[in-house]
């Protein structure tokens, strides 16, 4: 599966190609209050180093936890086009031949074709609730769960969230072993972890490795910080647990980078179990709710820390604000830097996205920002995110057209700007009172192009100064020294956007 590129825009604080092939793809889950009956597996004894190599011995741990890991097989049907030459029943049919030759309203015949899929999962309650990946069970006509004692059950999908690729399924069984979901382990780079699952259908397989990194963002922009490991996980491991040496589940094996190969190359990703735990109650209830504050965000440019008045690159810069949204109502503006959310320091944009989406809609949270080198505190009432209805802002017009007025070239930025004429205002659908400088041309590969400026953008502010026309914009941009950064407030598609351009 090719990862899709996801735009961090108007999702929460901004949130989602083909850099790598991910055979599995997922997101988070959580434990339901109704799971009070969960029977966590007893903590495994300390892993004993072998005398020969001083490496951990996983045998006791695996014996204790593997009975709670299941193999999942699915059956579904997809419709495929059937050519008359391949269909014995269709051969000799004069009407079939007629439509084949001349076309017709019926189009090609379709027939269902059964397909098989596989994956892994793990039991989270002794009465049969099982966590897996959504893509393992979505659109399945039949889901079969096989336990390590060789018993098989037909499972029912209780809840599934394609946006996070997490699902909760249920089998009719009692007194089952369950993995420990109560702990909130702190995952550290370099610690040993093991994966149990069914790679390529080989049931209850064990692989081990170390945590390579934490708080990883995938190229598809999913809204959680993933755990990166060098554990050998492959197709079929999807949905299986990642465990530490205490037998605690630290994540769900989710994705691998394969570089076009059919297997693992030592870079795998797991969904943190803390995310899973928070999501499970909603899956069981059948509805997933996420928070949204209505901003697009981006990382802080490395050369803009001093300009913003920051001590380091921790935080996320607000690129645009949805009109009438939660952030706009709270007074957040493009160019603000969010450094804390609900009392927690923001290290990067991905953390802010995860925090906002995890906030219950209707909750009012304090947000700390930096604006004009000064810290400010604002209160934002989080809205509910509707990802299906969420769309990226569309640029109103890339072709300025009309009379360009007096174009001016901004030295070091690679753009040509001009005044807003009535013709340009009409083509860009600008308000009659809009003032600023319209971008008439962008030098390919130049500073402005690399920063994302495009023809039809209207520069309304440079740094802390509002600009009414091209002359004022050119003057303010000319004051930026070579190697410095110009912070621009840009009107694009009826919405203000923040753009930072480093002068060459």
Q: How far is CA 471 from CA 405, 477, 491, in A?
A: 11, 10, 17
What residues contact 122, with CB distance under 8 A and at least 6 apart? 68, 69, 70, 130, 131, 132, 179, 196, 239, 240, 241, 249
301 burial class (0-12, 13-18, 19+ CB within 10 angstroms)?
Answer: middle
Catalytic residue check, 165? yes
Cα 321 from Cα 298, distance rounded (Å) = 12
- And the tokens for 470? 């091209």
The span from the CA of 54 to the CA of 40, in Å, is 30
Specify the DSSP class assigned to residue 103. Answer: -
Report the distance separating Cα 119 and Cα 65, nearest Å.
Answer: 18
DSSP code string of 300-353: PPGGGHHHHT-SSS-SEEEEEE-TTSHHHHHT--TT-EEEEETTEE--SHHHHH
Burial class (CB in 10 A: 0-12, 13-18, 19+), 292: buried
Reduce the DSSP state of residue 98 to 3 states and report it: helix
Active site residue 238: yes
Q: What is the 3-state secondary structure (H, E, C) of 116-138?
A: EEEEEEEECCCCCEEEECHHHHC
> What distance in Å separates the CA atoms of residue 296 and residue 391, rounded to the nearest whole number?
12
Q: Which of 120, 127, 135, 161 is catalytic?
A: 135
486 burial level (CB within 10 Å; 0-12, 13-18, 19+): buried
Q: Taking the CB of residue 229, how many other CB atoms lie within 10 A of it?
A: 29
Q: Give dist(CA 434, CA 426) in Å, integer.
A: 11
What's the rounded Cα separation, in Å, for the pair 219 and 226? 11
Q: Mind giving me the DSSP string for 350-384?
A: HHHHHHHHTSPTT-EEEEEEEETTEEEEEEEEPEE
DSSP string, 128-192: SEEEE-HHHHTT-SEEEEE-TTS-EEE-EEEEEETTTTEEEEE-S--S--B-B-S------TT-E
Is the distance from CB of 320 to CB of 498 less than 8 angstroms? yes
3-state secondary structure of 42: coil
Say which of 165, 336, 350, 457 is annotated catalytic. 165
212 is catalytic: no
Catalytic residue among 32, 125, 160, 238: 238
Question: Do the Cβ atoms of 37 and 125 come closer than 8 Å?
Answer: yes
CA distance 149 to 173: 13
Active site residues: 135, 165, 238
């Amino acid at each position: 599966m090719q990862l899709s590129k996801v735009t961090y825009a108007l999702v929460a604080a901004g949130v989602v190609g083909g850099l790598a092939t991910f055979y599995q793809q997922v997101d988070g889950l959580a434990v339901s209050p109704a799971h009070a009956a969960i029977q966590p597996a007893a903590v495994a004894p300390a892993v004993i180093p072998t005398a020969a190599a001083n490496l951990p011995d996983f045998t006791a741990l695996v014996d204790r936890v593997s009975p709670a890991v299941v193999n999942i097989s699915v059956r579904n049907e997809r419709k495929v086009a059937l050519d008359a030459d391949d269909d014995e029943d269709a051969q000799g049919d004069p009407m079939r031949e007629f439509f084949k030759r001349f076309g017709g309203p019926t189009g090609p015949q379709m027939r269902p074709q059964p397909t098989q899929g596989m994956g892994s999962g793990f039991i989270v309650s002794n009465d049969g609730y099982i966590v897996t990946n959504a893509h393992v069970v979505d659109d399945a006509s039949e889901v079969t769960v096989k336990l390590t004692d060789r018993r098989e059950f037909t499972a029912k999908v209780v809840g599934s969230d394609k946006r996070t690729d997490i699902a909760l399924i249920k089998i009719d069984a009692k007194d089952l072993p369950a993995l420990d979901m109560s702990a909130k382990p702190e995952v550290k780079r370099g610690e040993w972890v093991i994966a149990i699952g069914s790679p390529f259908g080989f049931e209850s397989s064990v692989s081990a490795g170390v945590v390579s990194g934490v708080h990883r963002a995938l190229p598809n922009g999913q809204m959680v910080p993933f755990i990166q490991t060098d554990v050998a996980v492959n197709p079929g491991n999807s949905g299986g647990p990642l465990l530490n040496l205490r037998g605690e589940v630290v994540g769900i094996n989710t994705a691998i980078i394969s570089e076009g190969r059919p297997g693992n190359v030592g870079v795998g990703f797991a969904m943190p179990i803390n995310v899973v735990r928070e999501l499970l109650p909603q899956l069981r209830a059948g509805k997933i709710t996420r928070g949204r504050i209505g901003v697009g965000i981006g990382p802080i440019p490395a050369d803009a820390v001093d300009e913003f008045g920051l001590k380091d690159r921790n935080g996320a810069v607000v690129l645009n604000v949805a009109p009438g949204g939660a952030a706009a109502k709270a007074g957040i503006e493009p160019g603000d830097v969010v450094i804390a959310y609900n009392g927690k320091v923001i290290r990067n944009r991905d953390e802010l996205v995860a925090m906002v989406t995890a906030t219950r809609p209707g909750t009012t949270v304090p947000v700390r920002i930096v604006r004009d080198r000064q810290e400010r505190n604002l209160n934002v009432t989080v809205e509910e995110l509707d990802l299906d209805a969420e769309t990226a802002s569309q640029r109103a017009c890339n072709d300025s057209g009309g009379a360009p007025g007096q174009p001016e070239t901004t030295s070091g930025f690679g753009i040509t700007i001009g005044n807003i004429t009535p013709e340009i205002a009409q083509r860009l659908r600008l308000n009659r009172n809009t003032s600023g400088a319209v971008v008439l041309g962008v030098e390919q590969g130049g500073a402005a192009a690399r920063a994302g400026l495009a023809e039809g953008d209207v520069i309304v502010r440079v740094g802390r100064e509002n600009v009414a026309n091209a002359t004022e914009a050119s003057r303010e941009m000319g004051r930026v020294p070579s190697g410095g950064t110009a912070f621009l407030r840009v009107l694009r598609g009826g919405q203000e956007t923040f753009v930072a351009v480093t002068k060459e």
